[in-house]
């Protein structure tokens, strides 16, 4: 019997669970993990973000000025030092909330057996 091809919704759910688990376990950088969940949190066929991702969008708005790894080489070292310190403080202050929100996403999107 041939296996059914996973639907877009199933693949999206798998990606959300994977990204949330990586952020929880610190396998991914805090900034990049937040940005990945924001990207995955948009409605598949629209420009609005899905319910349950509001917290990640709020965090992303607070860190939107922090450069991605691709942009960092073009930035002044003194500015990078300042935003890195800011990012460290942001992660410390938000880590518990991020963990709670990641667990909520996993509970919502992980398939039940």
**Domain residue ranges in the chain:** 9-108
pLDDT score at 92: 96
pLDDT in tens, 16-40: 999 999 999 999 999 999 999 999 9
* Whether the predicted pLDDT of 1 surpasses 70: no
Question: From CA 50, how far away is CA 68, in angstroms rounded?
Answer: 24
* Whether the predicted pLDDT of 42 surpasses 90: no
End-to-end CA separation in angstroms for the chain: 21
Neighbours of 53 (CB within 10 A): 20
What pTM value is reported for the model? 0.86
pLDDT in tens, 53-86: 999 999 999 999 999 999 999 999 999 999 999 9
């Amino acid at each position: 019997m041939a296996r059914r091809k996973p639907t877009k919704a199933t693949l999206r759910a798998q990606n959300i669970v994977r990204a949330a688990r990586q952020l929880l376990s610190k396998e991914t950088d805090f900034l990049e993990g937040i940005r990945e969940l924001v990207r995955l949190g948009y409605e598949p066929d629209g420009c609005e973000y899905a319910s349950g991702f509001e917290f990640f969008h709020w965090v992303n708005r607070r860190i939107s000025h922090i450069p991605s790894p691709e942009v960092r080489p073009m930035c002044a070292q003194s500015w990078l030092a300042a935003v890195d310190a800011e990012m460290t403080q942001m992660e410390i202050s938000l880590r518990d909330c991020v963990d709670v929100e990641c667990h909520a996403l996993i509970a919502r999107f992980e398939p039940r057996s």
